Amino acid sequence: MNFKVTFNLDGCGIYYDPLDPIHLDALLAWALAPAQTDDECLMRGDTPDYIILPLNRSKINGHDVWHASALFLDEKAPETLRFWRKKFRQNRASLTDGRPNLQSGVYREYNMPIPLVLANRIFAYGSGDMNAVLEILKKNIKSLGKKRSYGYGKITSIQCEETADDYSLSSGGVSMRWLPSTAGTRNVRPSPPYWNTTGITNCLEVGEIIHKGV
C-alpha cells in the first residue's frame, strides 16, 4: 500500500536541517532496532545488523533501498532563531586544576543559536504495511529533529492516509530520498543507519532531478 505519513507538531518549532533530512525508514529502524539487534555500541565503521521494516524494498543501481521518503516541512512555515546557553559544568570542576576561565578557552560560556521552523506539520511518503508503520511510529516517536530534550519538535499526533501513487522514491522526476546513482554527489548509505559508513555509495540529494540511465 502507498501512503503518506503526517506528523502534527505543537507549533513551538522544530530544529530541522534540510541538508541532512530525516528519513522515514531511519525512524522505523531506530524504533525496531532494540528488538531485532544487539548493536548497543555500534560504531560508525562497524557493519550494522539487518533490520526488517514493514516497508517495500527495491534494488536500485545494485543497492537495496526501502520505499520511504525523507521528511518534508510545510514550505510556508516561518523561521525563527533561539539560543541555548553553553555553561561550565560545576559538578565537573574537580576534573581540572586552578580556576576555569569562563570568558575564553575550552571552558568559555556562550550562547549557541537554534534555528527553528515554526511548522505545524511535517510529512513523508512510504509504501508497505501502512497500519504497522503507524503503530510503530505512534508507540516510539514522540518528537523530531535536533534539541528534542529542549522541547522542540514535539509531536501531538500522527496519521496515515493511502495515496494512489508511490511517492516514496521519486515524484515528478525528482528524488524524494537519497537514491543510489552514479551521478550522485552525496556519499551515504542507501539504508539506515545513515550515519554509519559501511556500504556508503554515491546518492542523489533529496529533491535532485533524476536523469534517465543513472
Q: Where does the pLDDT of residue 3 fall: very low under 50, low under 70, confident under 90, or very high at 90 and above?
A: very high
Residue 64 CA, chain-centre distance (Å), reads 19
At a CB cut-off of 8 Å and minimum separation 6, what does 166 contact? Answer: 2, 67, 125, 127
* Mean pLDDT over each residue of the chain, to the nearest integer: 90
User: Which tens digit of pLDDT belongs to each residue from 183-208?
Assistant: 999 999 999 999 999 999 999 999 99
pLDDT at 170 over 90: yes
Q: What are the residue boundaries of the structural domains of the chain, listed by start?
A: 2-45+54-83+113-168
Q: What is the DSSP string of 19-31?
A: TS--BHHHHHHHH
Residue 70's CB is within 10 A of a number of other CB atoms, namely 22
Kindly state the helix (H) or strand (E) to which residue 4 belongs, with its residue range. Answer: strand 2-9
- Give the count of beta carbons closer than 10 Å to the beta carbon of residue 135: 14
pTM: 0.87
- pLDDT at residue 132, rounded to an integer: 98
- pLDDT mean over 157-174: 96
Q: How far apart (Å, rounded) are the C-alpha atoms in residues 208 and 183?
A: 10
Contact predicate 118/78, CB 8 Å: yes
Residue 6 confidence (pLDDT): 97
| CATH number of 2-45+54-83+113-168, picked from 1.10.3470, 3.90.550, 2.30.30, 3.30.70 | 3.30.70
Pairing of strands 121-127, 72-73: antiparallel
* pLDDT above 70 for 48: yes
CB-count exposure of residue 163 (10 Å: 0-12, 13-18, 19+): middle
